[in-house]
Each structure stands twice: as structure tokens, then as C-alpha cells.
Amino acid sequence: MTAPKTKPVEAIQIKDAADLPKKTTVVIIGGGIVGLTAALTLAERDVPVVVLEKGRFVGEQSSRNLGWIRKTNRAPDDVPLAVESDKLWAKMNERVGSEVGYRQAGIMFLGKTDNDIAAYKGWLDAVESLELGSKLLTPAQIDELLPNGVGEWKGALYTPSDGYAEPQLAASAIANAAQKKGAILIENCAVRTLSTTAGRVSGVVTEHGEIQCDNVLLAAGAWSRRFLGNMGISFPTLPLYLSVFKTNPLPQISINTAVGAPNFSFRKHIDGGFIMMQRGALDAPLTIDHLKIGTQFLGALKHGKDVMHIRLNSVFLEDWKLGRRWTKEQITPFEKVRTLDPSPNQSFNQDALNNLKAAWPEFKDAEIENEWGGVIDVTPDSNPVIANITKVPGLTVAIGFSGHGFGTSPAAGQLAADLVMGTTPLIDPTPYCFERL
Ligand SMILES: Cc1cc2nc3c(=O)[nH]c(=O)nc-3n(C[C@H](O)[C@H](O)[C@H](O)COP(=O)(O)OP(=O)(O)OC[C@H]3O[C@@H](n4cnc5c(N)ncnc54)[C@H](O)[C@@H]3O)c2cc1C
């Protein structure tokens, strides 16, 4: 039971406060894939940038995800970002000078009921003008693309141009490329808060001292609500805990398409194994935030109530003890939890594997080789916020990716970099504004 191994990122460790850079143009808070793609974009544009990571680079969501890169089933206003990301993924190996495992192998969502198929049709109608090449498949067409299955499906939603990459390869390669282009990457360096002068961002206060800067990009993943909350800005996100596993290599299985069924999902790993999870069961341990902002999520809960396991367990107390308010002199929650590493739900994982074996008996030799947990940061409408914060000039955020930010990260990072520097945005950022929440 270990978190997946990433390719090492040669980040700087601060041994003495004097090692901390005194000044830069942009500080990025958070060394996940979103902060790193923004850093790469800025460094390629010769903008001085420092990325500060409280733990180790790519230690949280960005190394723990499934690696799916999809347009399918996204909110229609979130699709243009995914389309731009596809273009960037296609050139990523060349851009970063290393293999990121990107394969345009298609993604298929299987449907078991008339309701599933009606929902797929509804999505297809909503994105028709975007010409994504997505289509509904009959059971016979499913068999043709995914042979040897015995599951009884009503149909499927399929997008041949979707795909996946290897998160552990990709995020580390992007980090190393950003560094080669001039970005400064510092690990074990939590940002406690911002410094402002006349209401405008003038720097960040870290656990090792202060860095002056003109702009800050907050890309702090699941910690963003806490960080902003301490500044008096309420950003509504709730955590969801997911469990993932990797199987042994199964060279005899020829399926390359990524598949989402109601009670399992899988996609091929670059080593011939499969990365899987249980789609029909997610852990939602209660926190104080559920009491404070839970009502904003009632719409999302209506759709997800069958899959979410809402529980009151030790997470409530642990989260409460971390604290919500601090001064720049105090130890913050970011120093108390360097890397969020929840235990996986082994019974969800085992169920997913059993469900898959029942539907595709050729997976009979699949075993759980490694399993891990991860926490996603979900917004009420499941879209992220990629925006300048008008209340704090100089602060931009790229947060709340709601469990599907790996796929869109290349374009999200570029859009965030555009907003930080005030250059023409890659796409219209309106769907990602802060005020909508
Ligand atoms: C199990 C699982 C499966 C998923 N599957 C998919 C998928 O198939 N496809 C997809 O598109 N997405 C998927 N996702 C979602 C995807 O992983 C995330 O949306 C994406 O990685 C978010 O990247 P990020 O950079 O915003 O966050 P993170 O990777 O979480 O990075 C944020 C970083 O900020 C650091 N940080 C926080 N606060 C501070 C501070 N104060 N100072 C310094 N550093 C700080 C954290 O330590 C962390 O490293 C999945 C997620 C999980 C957990």
C-alpha cells in the first residue's frame, strides 16, 4: 500500500533562510501539475518564477490520479479547455524532452440502463456543435472494440480522440522541464500567507521567510480553501476520498481503450498493467466544512448520492485540529501535513476488480500490485476556478479541479499563466470565474 513512485524532481531544499530567493516576478504556491504547467509556460516566456511546495513535488493528487484525458461527460463549457489540452498533450514529449505516456486510445463509458443511455444522449446533444467525434455505440459495436466481454450493456458513449497519460511520468517531466527553462522549484517550503502593500500582493510569507514578488498564483489543490479562508476569502470546495490500484502486467489483454463502467473503471498502464478504481463508490468523510457550505452542494449530491459513502469518522477531528486561522508567525496546517496520503479503501478496490473480472473474464489473472488513496477538491458545479481575484490585486488562482484536472492541466496552467501576466487568454476564462460560486 504505497503511493505511486514519481520520477524524482531535483528541487531545492532550504537549509538556511538566506538560501531563499529574496525577489521574483511570480510565486506559484503548489507543486502539483497545475502549478507546474503554469511554471513551465511562464519560464518558456522568460518570466522569473519560483514554485513553492510544502511537501515533495507532485506528491498529492497529481501523482495519484488515473491519468484519464477526456472531453467525454465534461460540462459543455469546460470542453474548450479539454480540446486545447489535447493539442498540448500531443506535443508534450517534445516540449519537455521526455516520455509522458500520452496515448489517444479513446475513452468509453458503458451504460447498463435506459437512464444511462438517456444521460449520454443528453450530453451528446449539448456538445453537438463542438464536433468532438463522440458517439453512442450499440452492444455489438462495444463487442467489436472491446472483445471477450460478457457484461450486458445497453450501449456506450465513446470518444476516440480521448486518451490518457502516465501522471507520475508527466508531472515530474513537466517539473524538470520548467526547471531547465529557469523556474526555481523549492520543496518542503510551505507558504503561510501573502504579503500585501496598499492592498496589492507584494510577496509571500513562507516558513523560511519572505519572498517579494509582483504576482502570486495559488495552485494549492485540496488546501486552497484553507489558504484563502485564512485571508477571509470563502472558496467553496469539499473533499472526496478516492481509492486506486494498479495490477500486474497483463500482456495477453489487448484492450487499449479506457473504460468506465458503473462499478469499475480501467485503463492500460504503460507497463502493460492496468490502473483501476471503483466508479460506483467514493468516500465522503464529514468535516466541519460540510456543515458550513454543504448546502451549496445539494445539486451535486442529488446526482452522486448513490456513489458517495458519507461517513462521520476520524477525519472530522483530524481536520478540525489542523485549524483554520493562523498568523504569519505560526505553524500552519501546511507544515503539519506535508503530503496528504490517505489510506485506500481496500474493499472498494477489491469490489472493482471482482466486478471487472465478472464482465471481462480475461482479466482473471489480474492482481492488485499496489493501491493508494487520494483526495480531490470538488466545487459545487465541478468546474475549477481559474481567475484573477479582484479583491486582492496580484492574486490569481487555478484551483478546485474537482477530480478531472489532470487531463486539462496543460491548458489550465497556460490559461493561469496568461491571467497572471495579463496576456491574451488561451480561451475565454468566463466559465472559470470566481464570482460564479
Ligand atoms: C484518485 C484520483 C483519481 C483522479 N483521476 C483523474 C483522471 O483520471 N483524470 C483527471 O483529469 N484528473 C483526475 N484526478 C484529478 C487530478 O489529479 C487533479 O485535478 C489534479 O492533479 C489537480 O492538480 P493540482 O496541481 O491542482 O493539485 P495537487 O496535485 O494536489 O497539487 C497541489 C499542491 O499544492 C501543495 N500545497 C498546498 N498548500 C500549499 C502551501 N500553502 N504551500 C506550499 N504548497 C502547498 C500541495 O502539497 C500539493 O502538492 C484524480 C484525482 C485523484 C485523487
Kindly indicate the confidence band of residue 18, based on its pLDDT and cuts at 50, 70 and 90.
confident
235 domain-assigned = yes
Q: Of 162-171, 223-232, 262-271, 310-319, which gets the smallest average pLDDT?
A: 310-319
97-122 confidence digits (pLDDT tens) = 999 999 999 999 999 999 999 999 99
| Closest ligand 1 atom to 377 CA | 19
Kindly indicate the confidence band of residue 8, based on its pLDDT and cuts at 50, 70 and 90.
confident
pLDDT of 1 > 70? The answer is no
Q: Give the residue among 313, 314, 297 at the shortest CA–CA distance from 305.
A: 297
Determine the distance separating the centroid of ligand 1 and the alpha carbon of 228, expressed in angstroms. Answer: 17
Give the whole-angstrom CA distance, residue 378 versus residue 388: 19
Cell of 188: 518542503
Among protein residues, the one with the nearest Cα to ligand 1's atom 50 is 65
> Which residues are bridge partners to 431 per DSSP?
none
On the 0-12 / 13-18 / 19+ scale of CB atoms within 10 A, 212 is middle
Among protein residues, the one with the nearest Cα to ligand 1's atom 2 is 65
What phi and psi, each to the nearest 5 degrees, are found at residue 224? Answer: -65, -40
Tell me what pLDDT residue 280 has: 77
Q: Between 79-90 and 405-421, two packed helices, what is the crossing angle to 10 degrees? A: 100
Number of H helices, E strands in the chain: 14, 22
Give the whole-angstrom CA distance, residue 254 versus residue 363: 11
97 domain-assigned = yes
65 lines ligand 1 (CB under 6 A): yes
Tell me what pLDDT residue 298 has: 82
Give the whole-angstrom CA distance, residue 217 versus residue 415: 11
State the residue range of the domain holding 186: 12-432
Among protein residues, the one with the nearest Cα to ligand 1's atom 33 is 30
1 domain-assigned = no
337-392 confidence digits (pLDDT tens) = 999 999 999 999 999 999 999 999 999 999 999 999 999 999 999 999 999 999 99
405 lines ligand 1 (CB under 6 A): yes
Task: Tell me how many degrees the CA angle 121-122-123 measures, rounded to the nearest 5.
Answer: 90
What residues contact residue 408 under an 8 Å CB cut-off, 6+ apart? 78, 81, 82, 85, 401
53 lines ligand 1 (CB under 6 A): yes
DSSP state of 103: B
Determine the distance separating the centroid of ligand 1 and the alpha carbon of 128, expressed in angstroms. Answer: 30
What is the average pLDDT across 130-146? 96
Determine the distance separating the centroid of ligand 1 and the alpha carbon of 361, expressed in angstroms. Answer: 34
Give the whole-angstrom CA distance, residue 297 versus residue 73: 19
Give the whole-angstrom CA distance, residue 426 versus residue 414: 7
Determine the distance separating the centroid of ligand 1 and the alpha carbon of 251, expressed in angstroms. Answer: 30
Kindly indicate the confidence band of residue 295, based on its pLDDT and cuts at 50, 70 and 90.
confident
136 domain-assigned = yes
234-289 confidence digits (pLDDT tens) = 999 999 999 999 999 999 999 999 999 999 999 999 999 999 999 878 888 999 99
242 lines ligand 1 (CB under 6 A): yes
- The CA distances from residue 386 to 35, 90, 382, 409, 426, in Å, are 12, 23, 13, 11, 12
408 domain-assigned = yes
Based on the structure, what is the number of domains in the chain?
A: 1
409 domain-assigned = yes
| Closest ligand 1 atom to 55 CA | 47
Q: Taking the chain, what is the end-to-end CA distance rounded to the nearest angstrom?
A: 37
34 lines ligand 1 (CB under 6 A): yes
The overall average pLDDT reported for the chain is 95
7 domain-assigned = no
Give the whole-angstrom CA distance, residue 386 versus residue 217: 10
6 domain-assigned = no
Which residue is associated with the grid cell 516558513?
A: 207
* Stated pTM of the model: 0.97
379-411 confidence digits (pLDDT tens) = 999 999 999 999 999 999 999 999 999 999 999
| Closest ligand 1 atom to 67 CA | 8
Determine the distance separating the centroid of ligand 1 and the alpha carbon of 305, expressed in angstroms. Answer: 24
Among protein residues, the one with the nearest Cα to ligand 1's atom 13 is 404
190 lines ligand 1 (CB under 6 A): yes
- The CA distances from residue 303 to 312, 363, 370, in Å, are 21, 30, 30
Which residue is associated with the grid cell 478531472?
A: 404
Testing ligand 1's pocket by substitution, the residue of 62, 188, 274 carrying the most ligand atoms inside 8 A of its CB is: 62
What percentage of the chain reaches a pLDDT higher than 70? Answer: 98
Exposure class string for 243-274: b at 16+ Cβ within 10 A, else e: bbbbbeebeebebebbbbbbbbbbbbbbeebb
| DSSP H/E element including 173 | helix 167-180
pLDDT of 62 > 70? The answer is yes
Tell me what pLDDT residue 158 has: 98
Tell me what pLDDT residue 250 has: 96
What percentage of the chain reaches a pLDDT higher than 90? Answer: 89
DSSP 26-90: EEEE--SHHHHHHHHHHHHTT--EEEE-SSSTT-SHHHHS--EE--TTS-GGGHHHHHHHHHHHH
Kindly indicate the confidence band of residue 148, based on its pLDDT and cuts at 50, 70 and 90.
very high
Tell me what pLDDT residue 311 has: 86
